[in-house]
Structure 1
Amino acid sequence: MDNLENVFRMFEAHMQSYTGNDPLGEWESFIKWVEENFPDNKEYLMTLLEHLMKEFLHKKNYHNDSRFINYCLKFAEYNSDRHQFFEFLYNQGIGTKSSYIYMSWAGHLEAQGELQHASAIFQTGIHNEAEPKGLLQQQYRLFQARLTGIHLPAQGTTSEPLHSAQILKQVMMTNSSPEKNSACVPRSQGSECSGVASSTCDEKSNMEQRVIMISKSECSVSSSVAPKPEAQQVMYCKEKLIRGDSEFSFEELRAQKYNQRKKHEQWVSEDRNYM
């Protein structure tokens, strides 16, 4: 560790005399060197990422740079409260144009059972025209399908939410492109979905867009387990009959559905504006 601290002090001295126009590139090279030579020293990597976050926090020209987004997502892995961290990034204007931030944020909320909040995060990203657009819209439709039980046509993609490692991999693919220093992906490349099949994006008009906003009182999901697709089709959703530690009847469920149906048209109308 002492050796690493000495190396970091040398790097700091280098950055103080650096006169180039891309300081993040210097940080990127140094962090790659650390990852390659000290792959098991996660604590030191977290410290480096923390230094990097503080260094570029107020440099707005890097707030949507795909390299900086990559390090933000890596640093999020070390945070005990990821929702608070993503909220902090958003309030600072960091990643507001990056689909990867919204997908990771919404995925975390979905895993915590915050389904309505996760839906709002997806909608915010689409409203902000985050790039790649097609990828974010695709993941939102898959999220909707998981809530409503709709099985989308097979397009070579999974209905499960993307995990952090998968999102990081796609960000790294973006970093390796010639436009790596630009803010995310150019609009002309948004439909490519960074290697994810984009044909799903083109078939939106052929699919029935069903959105059901599920409140906590209607569907309670364990905070430690992400919602999973049912292995087989059943006639009712058992989870919707559970509220806290007690159960309630089908009559109560139907009453809630009746009230929910009145609001359904409004939700669908609002959602179509985003899509």
Structure 2
Amino acid sequence: MANYILMEMSPIIDFDAFEDSKENIKPLRVGRDAMTLVKAVHSDSLEEIHVRYSQELQRYAGDDPLALWIQYIEAIQTYYTTGDSKRSRFVQTLESCLLEYRDDDRYRNDERFLKVWLLYTDSVTEPDDIYQFLLKNEICTQFSALYRSYAIYLLRRGQCCKANTIVVRGIECGAHPVRDLRLLLQHIQAAGGSTTTDVRSIVSLSTLRPLLPF
């Protein structure tokens, strides 16, 4: 069954189709300040966080609601270093944000919105259709992190040729910073018919800057 129903003029994401592939929340790619964790443990409960931000979003009358959503997502991330995604409703919160703004031109090329998408791709086991949806609908396609994230996913599945194609596509469309894509492409092509070890070394290149963590 397809994970997405992609329509030419009105794309629809069937998030429910991903229910069986959602994983537990993964640790953040960057460390948290110790005091932040202490404050999180002794401040709001998780349910209070959901209630508070839900109310703030309903009342919000400014021109950048995504900023408040990102605060909401960060609050959940800070509360749980790892944990049960159903209990934290982390993936559900990501989905709500993405559904709310997937057709909003204000965020079509907003790096913060891409961060939310990449958190979502990192939370499901089969995100290929998510990446295809973003590319097809030209959402955040000016950022190299989109192509890098997709290519790394493909490399981990042993799809080196397809990963190469995705990176080239990012370079050709002028995604930035282009240096990261060129470096990744260089290593993919140098590996050629790479072994699993070669692929792992490409994926973990220390010369590549981290993907867009909050």
1:59 to 104, 119, 136: 104
TM-score normalised by the chain length of structure 1: 0.52
1:142 to 177, 182, 187: 187
Q: Of the two, which has the highest radius of gyration?
A: 1
Alignment of 1:164-243 (within 5 A): 169-172=210-213
Q: Is the 8 A contact 2:101 2:107 kept in 1?
A: yes
Q: How many residues are matched? A: 162
Tell me whether 1:127 sits opposite 2:168 in the alignment. no
CA distance in 2, matches of 1:87, 1:33: 29
Letter in 2 for 1:78: S
Tell me whether 1:161 sits opposite 2:202 in the alignment. yes
Q: Is the 8 A contact 1:97 1:129 kept in 2?
A: yes
Letter in 2 for 1:137: R
Tell me whether 1:34 sits opposite 2:79 in the alignment. no
Q: Is the 8 A contact 1:122 1:140 kept in 2?
A: yes
Q: Could you say which residue in structure 2 is the equivalent of 1:21?
A: 63
CA distance in 1, matches of 2:187, 2:63: 40
Q: Is the 8 A contact 1:142 1:159 kept in 2?
A: no
- Report the 3-state secondary structure (helix = DSSP H, G, I; strand = E; otherwise coil) of the residue aligned with 1:161: helix
Change (3 A) 1:167 1:65: farther
Alignment of 1:86-97 (within 5 A): 86-97=131-142
Superimposed CA distance per residue, residues 83-140 of structure 1 (whole angstroms, 9 cap, x where no aligned partner): 1221112122222111111111112222222222212111111111001011111111
Q: Is the 8 A contact 1:98 1:132 kept in 2?
A: yes
Superimposed CA distance per residue, residues 170-219 of structure 1 (whole angstroms, 9 cap, x where no aligned partner): 423xx6xxxxxxxxxxxxxxxxxxxxxxxxxxxxxxxxxxxxxxxxxxxx
CA distance in 1, matches of 2:120, 2:187: 26
Q: Which runs of 5+ in 2 are unaligned?
A: 1-44
CA distance in 2, matches of 1:116, 1:125: 15
Change (3 A) 1:29 1:160: same
Q: Is the 8 A contact 1:146 1:159 kept in 2?
A: no
Post-superposition offset of 1:167: 7.6
Change (3 A) 1:92 1:5: farther
In angstroms, what is the RMSD of aligned CA positions? 2.8
Change (3 A) 1:148 1:41: closer
Q: Could you say which residue in structure 2 is the equivalent of 1:269?
A: none
Deviating runs (4+, > 6 A) in structure 1? none
Q: Could you say which residue in structure 2 is the equivalent of 1:70?
A: 115
Change (3 A) 1:51 1:108: same
